[in-house]
Structure 1
Amino acid sequence: MELSVIITTYNKEIWLQKVLEGYANQSEQNFEVIIADDGSNSNTKHIIDSFQNRFIHPIQHIWQEDNGFQKCKILNKAILKSTTDYLLFTDGDCIPRFDFVAQHLKNKEKGYFLSGGYFKLPMSVSEKISLNDIKNQNCFSISWLIKNNVSKSFKLTKLTRNILFAKLMNCITPTKKTFNGHNTSCYKEDILAVNGFNEEMQYGGLDRELGERLLNNGLKSKQIRYSAICIHLEHERIYASIENWKKNNEIRNYNQKHKITKIEKGISQYL
């Protein structure tokens, strides 16, 4: 098995169904899927069960009781359940293009984490995308998206299938090479070395904070924003708050100032 895809979700089973369809149609099939479920109801389990025969390896459904936003906690639990040495992190609202897993495997390198991006869709298009649109990759076609009222912009170039152009854009894009929860991969040993995700953090920059500690610990980051692409389905963010952002930014600022690598409330709680 080449890698473990860890997908976070919470009560968005229709979006998750579309995401799993994307992974069921990957050019590289030798990977495991782990659903990091922060307390969803039984509808999510039904969707996961319906996909069990679509993958070479059984889907692992790691669930915890719904007790508010605890994404870091469920991610730490999912990491420990992974059976490979390389992890790809993404969300249950991000549909991967057919070569998504293959691109992460192609670009992985010891001493680095890979920083990917996404193309964000409006709600109308998010709802319109069918399972067939994912199978035949319509939803990654620039012309198809424009026909379905996605605004023309330079951001559409992220969906390019021109390998040379993608490599060039990865080099010249001003976007920082951050650890993005929707599209990032790294070696599991590097995550364990910094004690995983920081469970002191709620919504707002929790993935970036982990990446900053990885950098403090000597890792580098590699840009694959234009090579490994996923499309982001629109959704509400009822768990976002100014207070949480303020607290999380304080944690990040402290960690950067003091070059913190390991945090106390992390994955070691479950070892």
Structure 2
Amino acid sequence: MDSHRPPARPPARPAADQPAPVSASVIMTTFRSPHYLRQVLKGFAHQTCRDFEIVVGEDGRTEETRGVIDEFATRTDFRVRYVSQTHQGFGKTRILNRAIAAARGDYLIFTDGDCVPRRDFVAEHLRLAAPGRFLSGGCYRLERALTDRILAGEVAYQDFTDPVWLKHNGDDVPAKWLWIQNRPGLAKVLDLATTTRPTFNGHNASAWKTDVVAANGFNHEMRYGGLDRELGERLENAGVLGMQIRHRAVCYHLDHDRGYVNDEDWQRNRDIRLRVRKMGITRAQQGLDEVREAA
């Protein structure tokens, strides 16, 4: 459908007091983790593609996080924006919707405040964007000992995002990542051959903003555990299908504790997702529209 396609002609020039449009908005959330966020932002400073903005959503405003963002914004050539809300229990779906509402890009790339992007992360999402599709990227999980060294500033970005360096420094790197390093064309082959189903993963996924808006964004009923996949399932019900790019668009996950995980929330989310799939639901009852109305 035309709503999935970029504009056929350049958009009108913005007024003098309005920011210029961008191809994409990178959306991420954070919660009291400024040291992790600093490493993630450094990763975006290394991107080969520069035509994007970053929108950081913080559930509970902290001066430390704002300070990291303000410092980073003065050192980069793209725009970094900040939205926040009062912390009142689990609020990730709401802060994600606030970030979506603030985004200026036609295309939305989602990641997390603990996932450092490979240098071609944005470029690959934009290169592979297609009408009627959302993209499902990949994640390489770093061990806690290495994460601690990265947060302490002891390991450079170009090192811990290099599978060869990781292998030489004791990480149990799967052979496929070393093959891709030597022959990048294998990434597409592996994506086509994988039996892993493409899902909408909050640490690495992208979609056209028109599709996300039509789905009413993230579902406020959801708690931690599959809230991102539930959005993907609603997109699929609407005919927006997932495409696997897990070996082509990669981020590196910094390890941390997960004290917020509990069985009750997982079961609640499973029940909601089951209902979405069985009933073919395409739009959240409580989501993006409610955030906009409250603004």
Question: TM-score higher than 0.5 here?
Answer: yes
**2:170 paired with 1:149:** yes
- RMSD (Å), alpha carbons: 1.6
Q: State the alpha-carbon separation in 2 of the partners of residues 212 and 200 from structure 1.
A: 15
Equivalent residue, structure 1, for 2:65: 44
Kept in 2: contact 1:30–1:56 (CA 8 A): no
Kept in 2: contact 1:69–1:239 (CA 8 A): no
From 8, 27, 40, give the equivalent of 1:6.
27
**2:114 paired with 1:88:** no
Distance 1:74 1:67, change over 3 A: same
From 238, 248, 253, give the equivalent of 1:217.
238
Matches within 5 A, 1:199-210: 199-210=220-231
- CA offsets 1:2-34 (integer angstroms, 9 cap, x no match): 100001111111111000000011111111000
Which one is further off, 221-230 or 55-64? 55-64
- CA offsets 1:205-227 (integer angstroms, 9 cap, x no match): 00000000000001111111000
From 10, 24, 27, give the equivalent of 2:45.
24
Instruction: State the identity as a percent.
Output: 42
- CA offsets 1:109-168 (integer angstroms, 9 cap, x no match): 11100000100011111122238611xx11122221123321243464596363310010
TM-score of the aligned structures, taking structure 1 as reference length: 0.95
Matches within 5 A, 1:123-134: 123-129=144-150, 130=153, 133-134=156-157
Kept in 1: contact 2:50–2:78 (CA 8 A): no
From 262, 269, 272, give the equivalent of 1:251.
272
Letter in 1 for 2:265: N
Structure 1 unaligned spans of 5+:
none
Q: State the alpha-carbon separation in 1 of the partners of residues 130 and 249 from structure 2.
A: 15
Equivalent residue, structure 2, for 1:99: 120
Kept in 1: contact 2:109–2:204 (CA 8 A): yes
- CA offsets 1:191-214 (integer angstroms, 9 cap, x no match): 011111000111000000000000
Kept in 2: contact 1:121–1:232 (CA 8 A): yes
Letter in 2 for 1:178: T
Q: State the alpha-carbon separation in 2 of the partners of residues 171 and 40 from structure 1.
A: 42
Letter in 2 for 1:23: F
TM-score of the aligned structures, taking structure 2 as reference length: 0.87
Distance 1:124 1:107, change over 3 A: same
Equivalent residue, structure 2, for 1:58: 79
Query: Offset at 1:46?
Result: 0.9
Equivalent residue, structure 1, for 2:95: 74
Q: State the alpha-carbon separation in 2 of the partners of residues 260 and 161 from structure 1.
A: 43
Distance 1:81 1:152, change over 3 A: closer
Larger radius of gyration: 2
Q: State the alpha-carbon separation in 2 of the partners of residues 159 and 37 from structure 1.
A: 35
SS at match of 1:116: strand
Letter in 1 for 2:167: I
Distance 1:111 1:193, change over 3 A: same
Distance 1:196 1:22, change over 3 A: same
Query: Offset at 1:270?
Result: 2.8
**2:219 paired with 1:226:** no
Equivalent residue, structure 1, for 2:196: 175
